[in-house]
């Protein structure tokens, strides 16, 4: 079996990373993306553990490092801006931990697009409408482009994957809400402190700022809530919800909310995890958040996507395109690694969004304890070990 013509849905991080590895193994990829171009902006994402080795095998470590966010660490602040506790980026130096690589999501997506665009077909401003599987391939209709048949289809189109809905069924069967919402956007304000600053308010709310590579400030808002009846495309309603939720919160909140309507990269979504018993059905497979979204609370999404792309492409190459073999080996190789990556940090949502002033104070005490000498080694293992533990297979390149 020689299935070499692959359609990938999603030009974020998982999709172009898969296209990079498939190209190396002699496959031809087409990437379809709903957005009109590679998406800019977004929060800084972490590349940890085994994913750093994937990046090294791609030969992209130096280029990614050149575009990293210069962040000094994370700090919590009171309503008057006074720092209550800090966790510097080098807090765990000397504990056998290699610091993670932090880069803005949009910068990493652009870099991967630039690395693949010469030999990968990109269909921007388009999306999959239908998938019909046959013995010989997958017949795909698009919103804009003419219908085509591909040997295989991979959904790397995020937590609300259209590919998953078409091939596996409704989102409600797989997406598990965690009881909170997240929003972020870039503001024009200059950030000169270099810290990821967070301010908690009672009621399970947090507002934060972090530096961007362009010298501006990225704003973050999170709040505890049951699922809301809001359209994911209704930005005006989402922004109204945020303004109402944070109307009485101090620190820089009013300033950041005032900048929100002009943001070009506004993002609002539920905290959730995708849980699936299988990541493939016939000739269709899922990758990254579409298959196993761990939620932003874990900090593992980008790392799992990079590792998953490497393994999926490698198994397809090792099986000479036989998807029945490759997809099974892909799941077998990654299942335990993904399970560890989906484990929420201590306290889960309530640890990040404590409900009361007393709980906020206790969380600060806990953070100070974690960076103290007696507990530093244990904390380092708890924070970073979930990204390690997978021995990457070696796959022979076709080129």
Within-domain flag for 384: no
% residues pLDDT > 70 (the chain): 92
pLDDT score for 384: 57
Q: Which helix (H) or strand (E) holds 120?
A: none
pLDDT score for 3: 84
DSSP bridge partners of 218:
186, 210
Within-domain flag for 254: no
pLDDT score for 165: 98
Within-domain flag for 134: yes
Centre a 10 Å sphere on the Cβ of residue 297 and count the other Cβ atoms it contains.
21
Residue in 344, 341, 339, 338 with CA at minimum distance from that of residue 386 = 341
Residue in 186, 160, 218, 169 with CA at minimum distance from that of residue 34 = 160
Domain count of the fold of the chain: 1
% residues pLDDT > 90 (the chain): 74
pLDDT score for 372: 67
Residue pLDDT, tens place only, 272-290? 999 999 999 999 999 999 9
Q: Provide the pLDDT confidence category of residue 323 given band limits of 50, 70 and 90.
A: very high
Which tokens is 91 given?
A: 């807090």
Q: Provide the pLDDT confidence category of residue 367 given band limits of 50, 70 and 90.
A: confident
Pair 314, 54: CB distance under 8 Å: no
pTM to 2 decimal places: 0.92
pLDDT of residue 193 exceeding 90, the answer is no
| Average pLDDT, integer, range 163-181 | 97
| Average pLDDT, integer, range 35-49 | 85
| Rounded distance between C-alpha atoms, residue 346 and residue 348, angstroms | 6
- Cα dist. 8→128, 276, 321, 358 in Å? 10, 19, 15, 48
pLDDT score for 95: 45
Domain span at residue 61 reads 5-69+101-173+273-345
pLDDT score for 189: 86
Within-domain flag for 294: yes
Residue in 178, 120, 166 with CA at minimum distance from that of residue 309 = 120
Q: Which of 40-49, 218-227, 351-360 has the lowest mean pLDDT?
A: 40-49
pLDDT score for 96: 45
Pair 260, 218: CB distance under 8 Å: no
Within-domain flag for 311: yes
Pair 276, 327: CB distance under 8 Å: no
Within-domain flag for 313: yes
pLDDT score for 332: 97
Q: Which of 92-101, 203-212, 325-334, 390-399 has the lowest mean pLDDT?
A: 92-101
| Rounded distance between C-alpha atoms, residue 177 and residue 225, angstroms | 10
pLDDT score for 46: 87
Quote the mean pLDDT of the chain: 91
Q: Which residue has the higher pLDDT, 374 or 4?
A: 4
Pair 33, 10: CB distance under 8 Å: yes
Whichever domain contains 289, its CATH number is 3.50.50.60
Residue pLDDT, tens place only, 51-102? 999 999 999 999 999 988 877 888 999 999 999 988 887 765 554 455 568 8
């Amino acid at each position: 079996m020689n299935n070499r013509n692959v359609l990938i849905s999603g030009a974020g991080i998982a999709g172009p990373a898969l296209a990079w590895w498939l190209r190396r193994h002699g496959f031809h990829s087409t990437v379809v993306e709903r957005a009109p171009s590679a998406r800019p902006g977004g929060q800084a994402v972490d590349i940890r553990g085994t994913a750093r080795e994937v990046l090294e095998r791609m030969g992209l470590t130096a280029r990614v490092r050149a575009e990293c966010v210069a962040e000094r660490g994370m700090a919590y602040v009171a309503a008057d801006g006074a720092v209550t506790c800090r966790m510097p980026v080098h807090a765990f130096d000397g504990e056998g931990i290699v610091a993670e690589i932090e880069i803005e999501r949009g910068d990493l997506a652009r870099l991967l697009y630039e690395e693949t665009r010469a030999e990968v077909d990109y269909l921007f401003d388009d999306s999959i409408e239908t998938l019909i599987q046959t013995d010989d391939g997958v017949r795909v209709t698009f919103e804009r482009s003419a219908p085509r048949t591909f040997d295989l289809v991979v959904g790397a189109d995020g937590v609300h994957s259209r590919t998953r809905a078409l091939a596996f069924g409704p989102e409600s069967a797989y997406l598990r809400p965690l009881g909170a919402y997240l929003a972020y956007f870039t503001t024009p304000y200059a950030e000169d402190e270099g810290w990821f600053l967070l301010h908690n308010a009672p009621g399970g709310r947090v507002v934060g700022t972090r530096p961007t590579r362009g010298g501006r400030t990225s704003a973050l808002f999170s709040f505890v809530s049951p699922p809301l009846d809001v359209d994911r495309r209704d930005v005006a309603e989402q922004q109204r919800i945020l303004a109402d939720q944070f109307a009485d919160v101090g620190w820089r909140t009013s300033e950041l909310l005032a900048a929100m309507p002009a943001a070009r990269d506004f993002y609002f979504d539920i905290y959730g995890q995708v849980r699936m018993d299988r990541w493939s059905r016939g000739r269709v497979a899922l990758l990254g958040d579409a298959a196993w979204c761990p939620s932003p609370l874990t900090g593992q999404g980008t790392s799992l996507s990079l590792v998953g792309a490497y393994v999926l492409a490698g198994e397809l190459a090792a099986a000479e395109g036989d998807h029945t073999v490759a997809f099974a080996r892909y799941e077998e190789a990654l299942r335990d690694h993904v399970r560890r990556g989906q484990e929420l940090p201590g306290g889960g949502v309530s640890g990040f969004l404590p409900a009361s002033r007393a709980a906020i104070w206790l969380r600060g005490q806990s953070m100070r304890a974690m960076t103290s000498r007696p507990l530093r080694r244990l904390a380092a293992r708890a924070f970073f070990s979930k990204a390690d533990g997978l021995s990457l297979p070696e796959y022979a390149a076709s080129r």
